Amino acid sequence: MELIVFLTEQWMLVSLFLVLAYTYMWREKSKAGATLSVHQLTAVVNQGNAQLVDLRDSAEFQAGHIVDAINIPHNKLEKQLSELERHRAKTLVLVDKLGQHTGAAGRLLRDKEFNVVRLNGGMAEWTGQNLPVVKGKG
C-alpha cells in the first residue's frame, strides 16, 4: 500500500526513472549490433558476405550448427579474436543457444571495429523453424 502512495505522490520522479532505464537498455542493446531473423540470415548467408560465429561450447556446436559456421565459445572469444581477423571484411553473424551471449560478444567485436549482427533467438529459433543443421566439427 505504501508503494502505491509513493508512486502516486512521486510520479515525476518515477517517470524520470523509467525513461532513464528504458534509454539505458535501448542504448546497451544497440551497442551490441542489429539483430537478424532466421529468414534474413539465410538471405545474408546466400549473398556470401557474412561469416557465422557460433558462440556455444564445442559439444553443442558439434551436436548441430549452421553450415559454414565457425565455433568460438563466448568465454574464449576475447582470447581468440585473431581467428576472426581474416573475416574482417565480412559481416560477422553471432549465433548462440538462445541469444543470451550475443549482446556482450557483439559489444566486444564492435569495439574492435568488426561489423556485427546477431541472430535473433539463436539456434533455438533456427531449429524451431526446421532449418538445416550440420553435425560434427564443420
| Three-point CA angle 5, 10, 14, nearest 5° | 110
Domain that holds residue 117: 33-128
Query: For every one of its 138 residues, what pLDDT tens digit does the chain have, with 9 covering 90 and above?
Result: 788 888 889 889 889 888 888 887 766 666 557 888 999 998 888 888 899 999 999 999 999 999 999 999 999 999 999 999 999 999 999 999 987 788 889 989 999 999 999 998 999 999 999 999 999 875
Cα–Cα distance measured from residue 20 to residue 127, given in angstroms and rounded to the nearest whole number = 36
Same domain assignment for residues 109 and 80: yes
* Residue 61 and residue 95 in one domain: yes
Total structural domains within the chain: 2
| 138 assigned to some structural domain | no
Asked, for residue 38, whether it belongs to a domain, the answer is: yes
DSSP track, 111-124: HTT-EEEEETTHHH
User: pTM for this one?
Assistant: 0.77
